[in-house]
Amino acid sequence: MSHLPVRAETYCISYTLAMQFDIVKRGDDMKTKIYYNNEQFIAGTTLKDMTALEQNNMALHVCTSPDNVVNNRKKLAATLQCDVNDFICTEQTHSANFHRATMADKGLGALQQETAIPNTDALYTFEKGLMLCSFTADCVPVVFYNEQQGVIGVIHSGWQGTVKEITLQLFQHLINTEHCSPQDFHVHIGMALSQQKFEVDADVYEKFHRLGYADDFMYYNAQTNKYHIDNQQTVKKQCELAGIPSHHITIDKTCTFLSDEGFSYRQDKKSGRHLSFIMRK
């Protein structure tokens, strides 16, 4: 039995951004959305681009040609004024596993999928000059920094990662083990599948319900017999549970299914991936 409000029709949802981001494409630059670009950090995401190789797909594990993806990554590196060998990539498996990146990891997964850090869905580092990478289509990407301690990170949180609480677990680790203050984190939750388009059956609903704090971010559609989940808001709640102030958390409400600039596996059944990135300069 559903524990949720019943809605016969889905709401008409506004997809305006939570804040204004810079869309960058000048000449041969990579089409990107920049979240932060200050003296210490640069962070953002690549966007789907019909004029680019494989529509600007950045993932080696879902591509027509690995050479095309490597070329796209090199173009991104040039746009960000760094080197593709500064990238650190992981083999994302919808786990709750995270890794502290160091200079020894520089270049892992950047040019070959086989060298990516295995079975890992989040990265963080205290070091400069490392471009931390996360690949998503409909899943929730998270980028964050802590100005006082100098730590940065990326998280890949599909629904499986969310119910495994990867975001909460990583921030608890950073607070308890790395001695970071939660008050000093700034978090950006990137574009993902919207609640309107993220419809699931009862088995997935039950997993979110068992979290104990996600019911406010779900509703039941009686017409389709489906549940609709706001994965972004659930991830935001996990950040707040870790002690991060809500006003330090921003959300890009662009729906990857509805936006022409979004890759969506749910829409296309086969799609490229965005690359969400952050680097400490």
* Rounded average pLDDT over 61-81: 96
- Flag whether 1 is in a domain: no
| Encoded tokens for 16 | 């305006």
- Flag whether 138 is in a domain: yes
* pLDDT per residue as tens digits for the range 16-65: 334 456 666 554 678 999 999 989 999 999 999 999 999 999 999 999 99
Q: Is the dihedral of CA 28, 32, 33, 37 positive or negative?
A: negative
Q: What's the pLDDT at 2?
A: 52
Domain of residue 35 covers 6-280
- Flag whether 62 is in a domain: yes
Phi, psi of 221 (to 5 degrees): -105, 110
* pLDDT per residue as tens digits for the range 207-231: 999 999 999 999 999 999 999 999 9
15 has a pLDDT exceeding 60: no
Q: What's the pLDDT at 11?
A: 32
13 has a pLDDT exceeding 80: no
In what side-by-side order are the strands of the sheet with 274-280?
A: 22-24, 32-37, 41-46, 274-280, 131-136, 87-88
Number of structural domains in the chain: 1
- In whole angstroms, give the CA distance from residue 218 to residue 209: 9
- In whole angstroms, give the CA distance from residue 59 to residue 239: 27
Q: Is there a contact between 179 and 151 (Cβ–Cβ < 8 Å)?
A: no
Stated pTM of the model:
0.91
User: Which CATH number fits the domain that encloses residue 191?
Assistant: 3.60.140.10
Torsion, Cα 258 275 147 176, to 10 degrees, reads 90
* pLDDT per residue as tens digits for the range 102-134: 999 999 999 999 999 999 999 999 999 999 999
Torsion, Cα 178 180 182 185, to 10 degrees, reads -110
